[in-house]
Homo-oligomer: A and B are copies of this chain.
Amino acid sequence: ADARAGRQKITTCQACHGLDGLSKNPEAPNLAGQIEGYLVKALADYKSGARQNESMNIVAKDLSEQDMADIAAYYSSIEVDVLPP
């Protein structure tokens, strides 16, 4: 998986999830710094239909396994600092 390649593949993603991985839409999750394997599984499940979301099922349909891996690598690579609660 190649985070730099992933950054070139998020034209559609960033409308809702941001280039920085911060949600631009109250229904879309933040993806910045998210666990890479979790993101790969989410994309695969949206593509297969195992996970249902009107927008994501359409978007994921056209992604290859390599695309999904690269996009997950990109978003997971964004560094986040958490202020302990």
Count of identical protomers in the assembly: 2
CA A78 to CA B83, docked complex, whole Å:
7
Instruction: Please name all residues of chain B whose beta carbon is closer than 8 Å to the beta carbon of A52 when the two chains form the complex.
Output: 50-51
A19 to chain B, nearest CB (A): 7
Q: Check: A54 CB closer than 8 A to any chain B CB.
A: no
> For chain A, what secondary structure do more than half of its interface residues adopt (helix, strand, loop), or is it mixed?
loop
Smallest Cβ-Cβ distance to A78: which chain B residue: B85
Instruction: Please name all residues of chain B whose beta carbon is closer than 8 Å to the beta carbon of A78 when the two chains form the complex.
Output: 82-83, 85
User: Quick one: which of B26, B32, B41, B50 contacts A82, CB cutoff 8 A?
Assistant: B32
Contacts from A to B (Cβ < 8 Å): 7, 19-23, 26-30, 32-35, 37-38, 41, 50-52, 74, 77-85
